[in-house]
Amino acid sequence: MDFTLDSEQTALRDAVRGLLKGYDAEHRRAVTKNDPGFDEDMWSKLAEMGILGLPFSEDDGGMGAGQVEVSVVAEEFGRVVAPEPFVEAVVLAGGIVAACGSDEQRKEILGGISSGEILPAFAWADPTGGEKGVTVDGDTLTGVKEPVLNGARADTIIVFAEGRLFLVDGAATERTSYRTFDGGRAARIRFDDTPATPLGDSSTGSGGTGSDATEATQSVIAAAQVAYAHEALGAMDSALKLTTSYLTTRKQFGVSLNRFQSLTFRAADMYTSLELTRSIVSWATMVLADDDVSPEKKREAAARAKLQVSKAGRHIGQEAIQLHGGIGMTAEYSVGWLTARLTAIDHLLGDGRQLTGQLARGLASYGVVEPLP
Amino acid sequence: MKLHLTEEESAFREEMRTFFTTEIPQQIRDTIAAGHHVGKEGVVQTQQILNRAGLAVPNWPVEWGGRDWTPLQRHIWHEEMQLACVPPPLAFNANMVGPVIANFGSQAQRERFLPPTANLDIWWCQGFSEPNSGSDLASLSTKATRDGDDWILNGQKTWTTLGQYADWIFVLCRTDPEAERKQQGISFLLCPMDAEGVTLRPIELIDGSVEVNEVFFEDVRVPGDLLVGEENKGWSYAKFLLGNERVGVAPVGATKRALATVKKHAEETGRLDDPLLAAEFVGLENELLALELTALRVVANSADGKPHPASSVLKLKGTEIQQAVSELAVDLGGPLALASGAGDGQGDDSDIAEWARVSAPTYLNLRKASIYGGSNEIQRQIIAGTILGL
């Protein structure tokens, strides 16, 4: 078992870190003020660096990298709360096309994502909190999906409807966009007899051509859960760093705050949460990167990592604000952004309560949880 | 990043698993599995079997019976031992005084003490804490004064675990009351428990057990060759010892086993269908997984045998989860847990299952886990100070 990155992965991490280093609170605030809620120039630079095609096969125009590389990149996004939708567009929406699309669809869409020309959005949720909202009638869709992250900016919408997946031209839909609490954008998307292409190849029966797309989507969701978990880990790491630095510089009662044990002990507990999270999240990446592990085990590992992220993200995010005091409440200061993003990640692709329920269903099928296969 | 053990590591794990489950008497392992103590004989018998196979003191220098294992191999050895319900080598011997003598003792002391310490022919106990020196250990006041070549030892130690079985005690004592800093005037002495002037008084604990004692020293004459290392350098040896103590103190394997046992009882009684209870199991299993992975991560990164600073996380979180599992067991036992005294006398006097009977005493006993080995507050102090720079 080896938790360390190799030299290429370290180089990738450093390159992404270097590219995103300008994202302090002020710059992030300026960028997210205007639509589409992220920096289009940065998106192009990410494309040039190969980040937007990272997990796709070389045949499809991507880099052919694995989960480790995806996790490394996501963690750097989380560290500075970069607003560019790497996990949403590349890992999740792109991942679904990679898993379910026909050869032709993969080439076109994944190639477009990799080059930065196509921004995809995944329309899964409906306004009631479920995953329905849209009905299928022949080659058209009717109904509402919301909230769709980056839905208004997206060139291509991947729609989950009646257990199947479809591709829809973003421009062919009626979209209203608004700000999300973490600085991003989401949309309500209305479909009204909107033309839709099933995702997938009729010859293989995968994706939207009749078979249940839920199963194929599960593995992509696991990959996105683990990527989110790393993004959250990066955010938690930053939140603790900001907090410890604040405790040593901020003075009250004539002394710096780190003289108060009630505060330093709470920072110590944040560190404990962070390190436990780092371990389980890195482990989940290794499980997903391992070809010998079954899809069920991978999904379980992703759920375990995200459950820990849910707990630790709340703990660290809440404490980071409290230990900062009033300044932690301001949009001018990063700690609130980190906590907002942690809150968003917690509620995407399964929160702690849902994942607990999922894991509880398998509870009686084993004695102990074994980290090693 | 790689998930799998190497082929050699897998083979090593298999070798350990096979040894522990076939070479240690079933009756000893059953006793541990049922949540009971195996007593002095069980511990001695097990350690002697381990020692014969070279598995008692792998952390020692090779010439004294240690093995040149990687940190991961040591971790596997320790985990497999716990999972197989094998009582581990006596910590006072294997993790505490043994490494101190091996590293800082004279050649004569090594030859005299290390072989019987590894084989548990000598049972050691720890003379560190005092009534007025707990977490602030360096304030200790038990003192040793020179008399010719000998030392005269006076004072009192407390919380001396299993001192009732001990042949020898290792003692931190003040040898220079004038030293500028309290840490500077402390020495590390070895003392036979049957020396004249040593008395031991047992302390009964909240679970009814007697595992700790007070030890009194009244003009005890200790020969000069029983001073370990240099005079007044004892504090640095103690710090070395406490660092070793912390690494082994997160009982991941034992807690995993305990949680699996509780889960089995919950399942057998149909209680696992209660979603609230199931959620508690999921939460604990997940935290325990995160802890185990942290232990693996820490051993993988610890260089030259020095404890990783994050070992405080293992102690802190490991004992919290251990306590939480014991709490869940009492909850599951409910009123049945009150039958704790059943079976003490003539065996068959209760129809209540064994696990429920031992659950409350175990829960009460394990309150100690967040106090010993450097209390969890001391661990937070270490994390805040050493790691976070606060």
Residue B67 neighbours by CB under 8 Å, 6+ apart:
B54, B58, B73
Cα–chain-centroid distance for residue A237? 17
Interface with B, mutate which of A3, A260, A323 (most B CBs under 10 A): A3
Decide if B41 touches A, using CB distance below 8 A.
Answer: no
CB B380 to CB A265 under 8 A? yes
CB A286 to CB B1 under 8 A? yes
Residues in chain B with CB shorter than 8 Å from the CB of A240 are: 388
Residues in chain B with CB shorter than 8 Å from the CB of A367 are: 260, 263-264
pLDDT, residue B299, reads: 76
Which residue among A290, A360, A371 sits closest to B275, beta carbon to beta carbon? Answer: A360
pLDDT, residue B101, reads: 97
pLDDT, residue B346, reads: 64
Cα gap A343→A347, rounded to integer Å: 7
Q: Which residue, among B294, B293, B288, has the nearest Cα to B263 in the 3D structure?
A: B288
Instruction: Please give the structure tokens belonging to residue B148.
Output: 């010719």
Model confidence at A204, in pLDDT bands (50, 70, 90)? very low
Cα gap B82→B256, rounded to integer Å: 9
Residue A91 neighbours by CB under 8 Å, 6+ apart:
A55, A70, A74, A220, A223, A224, A227
Averaged confidence pLDDT in chain A: 95
Residues in chain A with CB shorter than 8 Å from the CB of B268 are: none
CB A264 to CB B384 under 8 A? yes
CB B387 to CB A258 under 8 A? no
A156 membership: H or E segment, kind and range: strand A156-161
**Digit-coded pLDDT (tens) for A150-175:** 999 999 999 999 989 999 999 999 99
CB A2 to CB B300 under 8 A? yes
Instruction: Please give the structure tokens belonging to residue B384.
Output: 């805040």
CB A279 to CB B383 under 8 A? no
Question: Of B80, B211, B214, B245, which one is the catalytic site residue?
Answer: B245
Report the residue of chain A nearest B295, measured CA to CA.
A279
Yes or no: say if B246 and B307 are a contact pair by the CB < 8 Å rule: yes
The CA distance from A363 to the nearest CA of chain B, in Å, is 7
Per-residue pLDDT averaged across A99-115, rounded? 96
Q: Which of residues 54-113 of A touch B (CB under 8 A)?
A: 68
Residues in chain B with CB shorter than 8 Å from the CB of A307 are: 282, 286
**Digit-coded pLDDT (tens) for A335-358:** 999 999 999 999 999 999 999 999
Domain B124-232 belongs to what topology?
Butyryl-CoA Dehydrogenase, subunit A; domain 2 (2.40.110)
Q: Which residues pair with A17 in a beta bridge?
A: none
Cα gap A321→A330, rounded to integer Å: 10
Q: Which of residues 234-293 of B touch A (CB under 8 A)?
A: 256-257, 259-260, 263-264, 267, 272, 275, 278-279, 281-283, 285-293
pLDDT, residue B113, reads: 98
Yes or no: say if A151 and A157 are a contact pair by the CB < 8 Å rule: yes
Per-residue pLDDT averaged across A297-318, rounded? 98
Least confident of A5-14, A48-57, B273-282, B336-345: B336-345
Residues in chain B with CB shorter than 8 Å from the CB of A304 are: 286, 289
CB A269 to CB B380 under 8 A? yes
Q: Is B149 exposed, middle or buried (0-12, 13-18, 19+ CB in 10 A)?
A: exposed
Spell out the domain ranges in chain B. 7-89, 124-232, 249-387
* CA angle B45–B48–B50, rounded 5-degree value: 110
Residue A219 has pLDDT above 70, yes or no: yes
Which residue among B281, B313, B389 sits closest to A272, beta carbon to beta carbon? Answer: B313
Per-residue pLDDT of chain B (390 residues; tens, 9 = 90+): 888 888 999 999 999 999 999 999 999 999 998 888 899 999 999 999 999 999 999 999 999 999 999 888 988 999 899 999 999 999 999 999 999 999 999 999 999 999 999 999 999 999 999 999 999 999 999 999 999 999 999 999 999 999 999 999 999 999 999 999 999 999 999 999 999 999 999 999 999 889 999 999 999 999 999 999 999 999 999 988 887 666 566 788 889 999 999 999 999 999 999 999 999 999 999 999 999 999 888 876 655 555 667 789 999 999 999 999 999 999 999 999 999 988 776 667 899 998 999 999 999 999 999 999 889 999 999 999 999 999
Yes or no: say if B124 and B170 are a contact pair by the CB < 8 Å rule: yes
Q: Is-catalytic flag, B245?
A: yes
pLDDT, residue A210, reads: 43
Residues in chain A with CB shorter than 8 Å from the CB of B282 are: 307, 356, 359-360, 363
The CA distance from B379 to the nearest CA of chain A, in Å, is 9
Q: Which of residues 53-72 of B touch A (CB under 8 A)?
A: 72
Half-sphere CA count of A334, side-chain side, radius 13 A? 24
CB A1 to CB B4 under 8 A? yes
Q: Which residue, among A105, A94, A135, has the nearest Cα to A198 in the 3D structure?
A: A105
CB B1 to CB A290 under 8 A? no
Yes or no: say if A159 and A194 are a contact pair by the CB < 8 Å rule: no
A352 membership: H or E segment, kind and range: helix A352-360
In total, the C-beta contacts within 8 angstroms joining chain A to chain B are 149
Residues in chain A with CB shorter than 8 Å from the CB of B288 are: 369
Ranked by mean pLDDT, which of A58-62, A368-372, B348-352 comes out on top?
Answer: A58-62
pLDDT, residue B249, reads: 60
Check if CATH label 3.40.50.10790 holds for domain B249-387. Answer: no
Cα gap A156→A159, rounded to integer Å: 10
pLDDT, residue B348, reads: 77
Report the residue of chain B nearest A247, measured CA to CA.
B390
Q: What would the CATH number be for the domain defined by B7-89?
A: 1.10.540.10
pLDDT, residue B119, reads: 98
CB B389 to CB A368 under 8 A? no
Decide if B34 touches A, using CB distance below 8 A.
Answer: no
pLDDT, residue A205, reads: 45
Going from the N-terminus, what domains does chain A have, and what CATH number goes with each?
A: 7-115 (1.10.540.10), 120-198 (2.40.110.10), 213-365 (1.20.140.10)
Yes or no: say if A162 and A213 are a contact pair by the CB < 8 Å rule: no
Interface with B, mutate which of A5, A13, A283 (most B CBs under 10 A): A283
SS3 sequence of chain B: CECCCCHHHHHHHHHHHHHHHHHCCHHHHHHHHCCCCCHHHHHHHHHHHHHHCCCCCCCCCHHHCCCCCCHHHHHHHHHHHHHCCCCCCCHHHHHHHHHHHHHHCCHHHHHHHHHHHHCCCCCEEEECCECCECCCHHHCCCEEEEECCEEEEEEEECCCCCHHHCCEEEEEEECCCCCCCHHHHEEEEEEECCCCCEEEEEECCCCCCCCEEEEEEEEEEECHHHEECCCCCHHHHHHHHHHHHHHCCCCHHHHHHHHHHHHHHHHHCCHHHCHHHHHHHHHHHHHHHHHHHHHHHHHHHCCCCCCCCCHHHHHHHHHHHHHHHHHHHHHHHHHHHHHHHCCCCCCCCCCCCHHHHHHHHHHHHHHHHHCCCCCHHHHHHHHHHHHCCC
pLDDT, residue B303, reads: 54
Between the alpha carbon of residue A195 and those of residues A141, A165, B90, the distances in Å are: 7, 13, 74
If you search the block for the tokens 């949009």, which residue do you land on?
Answer: A331
For residue B353, the tally of other CB atoms under 10 A from its CB is 15
Q: Which of residues 265-294 of A touch B (CB under 8 A)?
A: 265, 267-269, 271-272, 275-280, 282-283, 285-287, 289-290, 292-293
Residue A175, classed as helix, strand or coil, is strand
Instruction: Please give the structure tokens belonging to residue B46.
Output: 């097990």
CB A280 to CB B286 under 8 A? yes
Residues in chain B with CB shorter than 8 Å from the CB of A267 are: 384, 388, 390
Yes or no: say if B78 and B88 are a contact pair by the CB < 8 Å rule: yes
Residue A216 has pLDDT above 80, yes or no: no
Residues in chain B with CB shorter than 8 Å from the CB of A9 are: 1
Q: Which of residues 311-370 of A touch B (CB under 8 A)?
A: 356-357, 359-360, 363-364, 367-369
Instruction: Please give the structure tokens belonging to residue A248.
Output: 């040593």
Residue A16 has pLDDT above 70, yes or no: yes
Instruction: Please give the structure tokens belonging to residue B113.
Output: 């003490």
CB B286 to CB A359 under 8 A? yes
Yes or no: say if B160 and B171 are a contact pair by the CB < 8 Å rule: no
Whether the CA torsion A237, A240, A243, A249 is positive or negative: it is negative
Residue A135 neighbours by CB under 8 Å, 6+ apart:
A141, A142, A143, A161, A162
Q: Which of residues 172-231 of B touch A (CB under 8 A)?
A: none
- Angle separating helix axes A213-249 and A295-324, nearest 10 degrees: 30
Instruction: Please give the structure tokens belonging to residue A168.
Output: 């829809």
